[in-house]
Structure 1
Amino acid sequence: MNIRKILNDRFNYPFPNLISPFAATLQEVTDTQWIDGELKDLVPFSTREKYKQTKTGFMSARWWPKTRSFERMLPLGRFMLWSMYNDDMYEVATVAEVRNAQERSVAVLKGQITPEEAQIPLAYQLYAIREGFMEFIPAASVNRFANAINDYFDGLEMEVLYKQQKIFPTVGNLLNIRVRILMICAFIDTIEIQNEVTLPDHIYAHPVIKRLYELTTRIIGYFNDVQSLLKDEESGEVYFNVVKVLQHHYQITRDDAVAETIRLHDADLEAFLVLRAALPDFGKWNDAVLALIEDMGAFMKGWQSVSLLETARYGINGFPQAAELPKA
C-alpha cells in the first residue's frame, strides 16, 4: 500500500496552500533553542533528532501562515512542539498519569500554579506558552484555550482505557473521542493570535461554529489515521486508528477500510463546505468569522502539505518509542 500516494491523490482540499515566510527561522529556533536547549535533558540525542525531523516549525508555518510577526509565531511554535512531545509522552501512560498531567497542565495554563509546583516534565513549556499567548490575546481567550486542552486530556483518558484493555471502540465512539484527543479545537482557538481578532463568546458558542470545529477535527483525523497507519501498526497502537477500527468491526480488508475512511472524510468535508457557504449573519463580525473558517481550511491543507513535503514523523522509525520518553 502506497500511503504517500493515497495522501496526495485521494485527499483533496479546496483551500489555498500557504506557508509563512518565518518557516525556516522558526524551525531553527525549534531545533537549537528548544529541542537542543530547553528540552535537552528530557530525551536522548537520538530522540531529539526525531523531533527535529518532525519539523514542527514548518507545521506551524503552514497552520498559521498569515501571522504578521515572528513574535506572534513563537508561542504558536512552542505549542506545536509541546503538542507532539506531550502526545508521545502520554500515549502509553496510565489513567492516573493522564489525570495528574491534566490537572497540573491546565492549572499552569490558567496561571493557577507555577511550573515548579506542577512537577511534570513539560510544565515550563506550558508556562512559556501561556506567557507568550498573554502578550497577544486576553486572559479569557487563554482560559478558553486551556479548557480545550482539558477536553483533550479527557479524550486521552478514554483512549488510554481502550488501549489498556485492547478493545476497539465503536466507530461512533471513536469519532466522538477523536474530536478531543486530536487537540484540533485548541489549535483553532489559537487562530485568534494570528488574525488579531477576539470574537465574542456567543460566536464561539454558536452551534454552527461548534459544528465547524468538530468537522475540522474529524476531517484532519481521517487524514491523520491513514497517514499514521504504518506507525500505528508498527507500534501496536491500533485501537484508535479509524482504518483499523473499521477493519475490525466490519471485517473488511485494510484496503477497503482505507477506502471507507476516505468516503467518511469526503462526506464531512462536503458538510464543512455546505456550512461555510450558508453561514448565519454575525453582523459586524461576519468578516472575522469567515476568516476563522478559512483558516480552519488552511489547517486541513497545511497538514496535508507538511505531511507530504516536510515531516518525517509518520514514516518508519520516524517517531519516538515509549522507552525513549520521560516517565509522566
Structure 2
Amino acid sequence: MKTVYVPIPSYPWPRVLSPFVEFPEEEKWLSEDYNFLDEETINRYRKQRLYDFVFNMWPVTNDPKMMRPILRCGYYHTIMDDYVGIMPLDELKAFTDRTYEVMMEQDPQPNEIGIFHQMAAARKEWIANGMPLFWIERMAREFREYFTYGVMEETPFKLSNTYPSVGRYLLIRMYSIGQKVFVNLTEAAMGQALPVHIHEHPVMNRLRELQSMIIAIQNDFASIRKELATDNETLNIILVVMHEYKISLQEAIVESLRIHDEMVREIDSITSCLPDFGFYQKMVEDYIYHVKIMIHGLNAFYYESGTKRYTQEGFAIPKYGTANEQSLDLEIKHIEHEYWLKNLKNNNKVT
C-alpha cells in the first residue's frame, strides 16, 4: 500500500503548557446536557479529549472560574459543529436564530437541547466574571456569522459532493472553522475585552482572519485521512487544491502548506509593525501573544494529546451524516514539518 506523508505544520511562536491537565466535569456534562445524542456518539466524544484542546488553546488561563465557561464553549461549539453538519437549511436557520437569542440573554426552555443550556450557563459565568455586555454581543454576532457565512455556505458543496474554488474555500472556512467565535475567548482568558475601536482596527481584523484560515488549514492537515474516506467531506484545502489545479495528492499537500506558511509569515509581518494604540498598546500586544499560542496549542492537540477525533473509532456521527468510511488504497502518515521539508528538498518528493 502506498504511503502519503503529510507534514505537521510548525510555528515560530511559543508552545505554552496549561496548569490544567484534567476536567472532572466532562462526564457530568456529556451524560446530562448532551444526552440528546445517542450513546455511541457520546462515547466517541469521550475519546476526543475535548478538554485538552481547550487547555492547549488557552494555556495561560489559571483561574478555574474563568476556565469553566471557556470549556463549556469549547464543548458546545464543537458538538454543535458536528450536530449541524449538512442539516437542512430551514432547520439550520431556526437553529441559528435560537443560538443568537440564547447568546443575547434569552434563557432556553427546560425541554431544549443541552447545547443551549450550556451556552446560557457560560454566558452567565462570563458576566459574573466581569466580561462586558458588548463582548457578549460580539460573541452572539460571531456565532450568527459562523452559521450564515460558514456552515450554510458549506452545505451545498457537501450535499452535491462538489468542490469550491480555492479562493471561495478560504472565505467559507474562515467562518465555518469556528475560530472567529473561539478567538473571542482570548479576551475571556485575559479577563478583559478589547474596546470596540481597537477590536475593529484593520490590523486586528486581519490578524483574526489569518488566525482562522491558518487553523482551518491546520485542521484539514490533521483530518485528511478521515476526509479522504468519508462522503460529503469536500471542504478540505488539500482536496480543493488537488481538484482545482488537477494535481496529485502529494503536490496538493505541498501547495496547501505553501498557502499556510505564507499566512504564518503575514501574521508575523503585520504584528511586528503595529500602529500606536496608545493606552491600549500593552493589551493589544498581550492579545496578539494569546492568538499566536492558540494556533500553536491547537496544532499540538492534534498530534500530542491522544485525541481520537479524526480516527474511525472517535469522530462524531453527524445528525444527518454517516460514520461509514470508504476503504483507502493508501496510508496517511503525519511527520514533522522539518523532516518533510528536508526530504522534499533532497528528493523532490517525500519518501
Instruction: State TM-score, norm by structure 1.
Output: 0.92
Q: How do residues 1-328 of structure 1 correspond to structure 2 at under 5 angstroms?
A: 6-8=6-8, 11-24=9-22, 26=23, 28-30=24-26, 32-39=27-34, 41-111=35-105, 113-116=106-109, 119-120=112-113, 122-136=115-129, 137-154=131-148, 155-310=150-305, 311-322=307-318
**RMSD over aligned Cα, in angstroms?**
1.9
* Count of aligned pairs: 317
Assess if the C-alpha contact under 8 Å between 1:19 and 1:65 holds in 2.
Answer: yes
CA-to-partner distance for each residue in 1:57-101, whole Å, 9 max, x for gaps? 111111111113111100100111112210111112111121111
Q: CA deviation at 1:6?
A: 3.4
1:174-212, CA deviations, whole angstroms, 9 ceiling, x for partnerless residues?
A: 101111111111111111111122221001110010000
Contact 2:87 2:319 in 1 (8 A): no
The DSSP-based 3-state class of the residue aligned with 2:109 is: helix
State whether residues 108 and 127 of structure 1, in contact with CA within 8 Å, keep that contact through their aligned partners in structure 2: yes
Question: CA deviation digits over 1:105-163, x for unaligned, max 9?
Answer: 1110011x331189455221221121122222011101101111111001111111222
Could you tell me whether the CA contact under 8 Å between 2:183 and 2:208 is conserved in 1? yes
Higher relative CO (Cα under 8 Å, sequence separation at least 6) belongs to 2
- Partners in 2 of 1:289 and 1:226 — Cα distance? 30
Q: CA deviation at 1:37?
A: 3.0
For the residues of structure 2 that align with 1:163 and 1:183, how far apart are their CA atoms?
A: 17
* Range with bigger deviation, 43-52 or 168-177: 43-52
Counting helix residues as a fraction of each chain, which structure ranks higher? Answer: 1
Counterparts of 2:309 and 2:51 in 1: how far apart (Å)? 13
Contact 1:230/1:316 (8 A) holds in 2: no
Gaps of 5+ in 2: 322-351
Shift of residue 283 of structure 1? 0.7
Q: Which TM-score applies when normalising by structure 2?
A: 0.86
Distance 1:79 1:124 in 2: 11
Residue identity in the other structure for 1:97? E
* CA–CA distance in structure 1, aligned partners of residues 108 and 3 of structure 2: 44
Separation of aligned partners in 1, 2:65 and 2:19: 13
Cα-to-partner distance string for 1:15-59 (whole Å, 9 max, x where unaligned): 2212221231x2x212x22112332x2223332221112111111
Sequence identity percentage? 26
Q: Which has the larger radius of gyration?
A: 2
